[in-house]
Structure 1
Amino acid sequence: MTGASGAAFYDGRVCVAATGVVTATRARGRRRRRPALVVWPERPTGRDARVLARMSAFGAVLLAAHARESDAAARHVHLLKTQRRLERRVVNQEHRRSRASHDLRTPLMVIKGYVDMMLKGTAGGLTAPIQRYLERLRRSADDQSAIIERRLAKVQDEGVEDLRPLLRTAFIPAARGQRIMDTTMTLPDRPVAIPGPRDDVELLVRVLARTVAASGAPTAVRVEAAGDASVWQLRINIRGGKPLPEKTVTLLRHLTQRLRGGLSLPEETGNGWVVHLPVDDTVPVAPRDA
């Protein structure tokens, strides 16, 4: 570039950078919008033209890289703003949760205190009907306290909102090229929500599926709500299957206990083995597509 007194880099008709004593101006006309390096005075030789073309291409690469960096920086700023907004929202929600828990517990503790005093005879003798009423009131207060503890407790884990997709994937593995198991599955028409660590729930389902696959016998899998609908029962009946190995039973008991559930073996139920899992009643129970 020896001998050039000025140079300018154009992106279309926009001058991006300029230097030198005399700044070259790009000729007007019907040109395609592409980056170009213009020097003053113009370099007439073919060698100089090739150098200018390479430098123009390099300038275009720099412009594209600068545009990508600018977009990335804008996205980063947007993500930071979103993160801070979500952090503030979480703090506000935690404050409201704590305040609501306190506001609900305070009058409830007063009610329970007075009920206990009356049942102890502090206010005098009680007739049989009054004592029954007070017992019922105390049980209701205990139930309400448990509901407050469950609904307004600090969230430790997300749990599983619906166990049905996990069961289908584990017990019907044909799509993954595995051996097809002769499994009859009966699932409820509403989400099977399970509280507890998701990894433990997935591991439990995988262990159950491997046990069924190892038996090689036709199997019936059924999920249903038991009792007052506070417990899910996962019933697995292997027709003519062998007893579970002690190691598998120990692992299943450990996993169900971690999920605050239990395990019933065939000798206890008389019809297959049953996994008892708690119901996550914080998840809506409106029917939806399985």
Structure 2
Amino acid sequence: MGRSASALEVERTLSAVAERALHLGARAGLDALVEATVRLTETSGAALYAGSRRVALAGLAPPVPARAHPQQMMKEGRTVLVLGEPCVDAADRQLLARLAALGSALLASQSREDASRAEQARLRQERMRMLELQSHRERVLARAAHDVRTPLLVLQGYIDMMTKGMAGVLTPSMQRYLERMGRAAAEMNVRLQRPPTEHAPVEDLRSLLSATFGPGRRTSARLELPTEPVRVRAPREALALLVRTLERLLVGAGASEMVLRLEAQDGARWRLSLQARAELPVPKRALESLERLARRLDAGLTVREAPEVALTMLLPGIPG
């Protein structure tokens, strides 16, 4: 090697690489690791291998582990750090072994990040599929309601005409039967005109909020929830998506000291209030997703971003 690295230099390098990986991801940390190795040792090149697969390279490519000299390699499990020239000094090899150990940890972190990205992609696809199914269901229901409403209006018209005596004199029994038929037809017409959310199952929002923002979670907040069930007539998928979007917004803003409060408002609505200290601006995409969800749930939404994040949402509830 061109030079020996001191213990202090290695410590500083480990801290810098770890910080870069923390902020930019494990991939950036792996690249920074091999670049720092070349800079510290002034070797012609360095590469990091996971088994026989090269995952990072800086400078000239050294030999693959199968052909490299044993003193060119520092191993940590299946992770191998290969230098361009042999390192014969035992103290230097001990220090460089710490870089190989960090490389092994970064590779494990990269595997977790890849798995997380794959899971997020799967969840996005599943969400899009569910939204598409819901949209198709709403279109089918709208067509069915229209097809049923048309003959229903014709029946109501004939019932009104017969009630007014346009078809001749009615006996008391006939008058009573027509009135019942008219009320049933009118009620059916009203039901057909209700939006799909009116028929959604009743959900208790407290369990979803506690599962996401309760103690031990990465977005834990001080929860102030009512003792009675929070009855929101909305699909559970929509409410779960609302809670996940709130979590994504807070994580993106680097939020801390969070307080989440839920209380009754005007008898038929629930007021969801969230306050937090933020280190970063509120992510635009998360905020746009939250606004779309608010429109979908017929909820009022107000957001203030400075000097702290303050969010208020009025959710339609069910009295009693």
TM-score (norm 1): 0.48
Hey, which of these two has a bigger chunk of helix by percent?
2
- TM-score, normalised by the number of residues in structure 2: 0.44
Larger radius of gyration: 1
Where relative contact order (Cα < 8 A, 6+ residues apart) is larger, the structure is 1
